Structure formats: C-alpha cells, structure tokens
C-alpha cells in the first residue's frame, strides 16, 4: 500500500540536466501509458501509468543519476529494495516527462517541491496539481491543469490481491454503507471491491494532504469529491480523486 512521507520542508527540487540514455529501455519495461482523464471545472486531470517490474537495475541507476534532484537522490539512496528503487525513480521520471511536455519545458527544468504534508507540487505553474502512487512495481502519475485555485487531486493504485485482515480494516476505516456493499460481495469480486474502496479513500487523503492516518475520516464516494477509476494493466486497480474548493 502506498505511503507518502514528509521531510517538513517545502524546498524546491529540480532534476539535473543531462541525456537519459536508459530511457530507451523503457520501451519494454516502463513505457508511459495513458490511464484516463476527467474534467475538473475549467481544467482537466490526466493520469498515466508505467511498469517498472522489468526495468533492469542498470537502467534504474542511470535514470536515477539523470532524472533525480539531489534531495530526491538522497531519498532514493535510502531505499534498499530494488523494486522500491525502480518505483521511486520511475515515478519521478514519468512526472517530469509529462510535465515537461505540458509546460513546454525540458524535463530537467521542471521544478518540484514538497509541502509540509508531503504533497508534491510544481513550482511556477499556477493551476497545476500533481499526485504520485506506486504499488508492486507499477507507478501512476496524475496531473491536473487549468484548475481553479484550491483544487487538489490524488491518485492511488493497488495490486489486486486478498488483503490480510481486510475485515478488521474495513470495520475500522470504512463507512457503514461501504461495509454493506462489501457484505454482498465475495471471492475475487470482494477483493476488488475492498481495494476500490481503499484506493479511493487513500487517493482522497492524498488530495487533501491529511495522510493515511485520516483514512477513516474520508467521505463516502462522490461526497465532496469526484472519483474516477483508471485504466490499469491486468492485476492492478486504482483511480484518482478531484477535490474542488468549497
């Protein structure tokens, strides 16, 4: 399950310049695939996914050297799990690539920052909001543009599986209406429904910046927010949330 961290700062980080020679290896492992889009007031939110499970370690290291800013590099170096490293660097490579095309800038000139809640944001880009998620080697990136000030987006993905202690978690974190829906599903359908509820709640708390500890306080589907499922590869589920001001 994805988690967002915070270093308590809002320092701007920009990727170093340089050609990413490993990018050609993304054709088979981490190509950037559209996952869907949804209108958000006068703006639009788009999402993409990339699969890092087959990305060679050498390509991950090259992408890290070329696509990560110094502060991001220190976080990357602290990750010992190879798949976690691939997720970390691929998400930021995809985000900067997408934003570079959108903003008409070289990816290396896209400045990113973290707010005090750990939410990423783009410097010098009014009306733009972003969110990142990763699970089991898959990364998802959502970018909103032309947004009304105060609009926030969140994205989350999960590998489809049976979650241990799913019933206990649902009793603690899900609403009575959601638990009732889960009670009418079983087997694989029940697993998918549980994960759909979880990803929506996690995407919501990412959007509003309150963190996973506030999952139980997230509203039911479409109450004060828009939920949009994403087109993801087989074996994954997830979606994005748009929270508009007011």
- Summarize pLDDT for 30-39 with one digit per residue, the tens: 589 999 999 9
Are residues 242 and 131 in contact, defined by beta-carbon separation less than 8 angstroms?
no
Percent above pLDDT 90 for the chain: 67
Residue 45 lies in a domain: yes
Residue 2 lies in a domain: no
Which tokens belong to 153? 């987006």
Residue 3 lies in a domain: no
Rounded (to 5) percent helix, strand, coil in the chain: 40, 25, 35
Taking Cα atoms as reference points, which of 21, 18, 136 lies closest to residue 82?
A: 136
Residue 114 lies in a domain: yes
Query: Residue 7's pLDDT is what?
Result: 30
Residue 6 lies in a domain: no
Residue 219 lies in a domain: yes
Residue 101 lies in a domain: yes
Residues 60-108: pLDDT tens digits?
998 888 788 888 899 999 999 999 999 999 999 999 999 999 999 888 7
Residue 136 lies in a domain: yes
Report the CATH number that the domain containing residue 72 is assigned in CATH.
3.90.470.20
Are residues 204 and 154 in contact, defined by beta-carbon separation less than 8 angstroms?
yes
Domain interval for residue 231: 12-17+26-243
Count Cα neighbours of 69 within 13 Å in the Cβ-side half-sphere: 17
Query: Residue 127's pLDDT is what?
Result: 94
What distance in Å separates the CA atoms of residue 67 and residue 92, rounded to the nearest whole number? 7
Q: Write down the pTM of the prediction.
A: 0.87
Which tokens belong to 92? 């930021």
What distance in Å separates the CA atoms of residue 108 and residue 112, rounded to the nearest whole number? 10
Q: How many domains does the chain have?
A: 1
């Amino acid at each position: 399950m994805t988690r967002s961290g915070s270093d308590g700062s809002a320092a701007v980080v920009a990727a170093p310049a340089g050609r990413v020679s490993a990018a050609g290896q993304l054709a088979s492992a981490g190509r950037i695939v559209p996952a869907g889009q949804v209108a958000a007031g006068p703006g639009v939110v788009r999402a993409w996914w990339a699969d890092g499970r087959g990305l060679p370690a050498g390509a991950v290291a090259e992408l890290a050297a070329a696509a990560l800013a110094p502060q991001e590099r220190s976080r990357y170096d602290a990750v010992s799990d190879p798949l976690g490293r691939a997720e970390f660097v691929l998400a930021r490579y995809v985000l900067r690539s997408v934003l570079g095309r959108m903003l008409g800038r070289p990816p290396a000139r896209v400045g990113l920052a973290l707010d005090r809640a750990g939410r990423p944001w783009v410097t010098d880009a009014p009306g733009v909001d972003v969110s990142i998620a990763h699970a089991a080697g898959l990364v998802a990136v959502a970018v909103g543009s032309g947004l009304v000030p105060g609009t926030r987006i969140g994205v989350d993905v999960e590998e489809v599986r049976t979650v241990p202690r799913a019933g206990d978690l649902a009793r603690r974190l899900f609403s009575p209406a959601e638990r009732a829906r889960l009670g009418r599903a079983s087997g694989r359908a029940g697993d998918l429904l549980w994960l759909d509820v979880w990803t929506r709640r996690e995407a919501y708390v990412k959007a509003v910046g309150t963190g996973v500890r506030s999952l139980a306080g997230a509203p039911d589907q479409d109450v004060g927010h828009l939920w949009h499922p994403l087109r993801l590869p087989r074996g994954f589920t997830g979606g994005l949330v748009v929270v508009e001001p007011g």
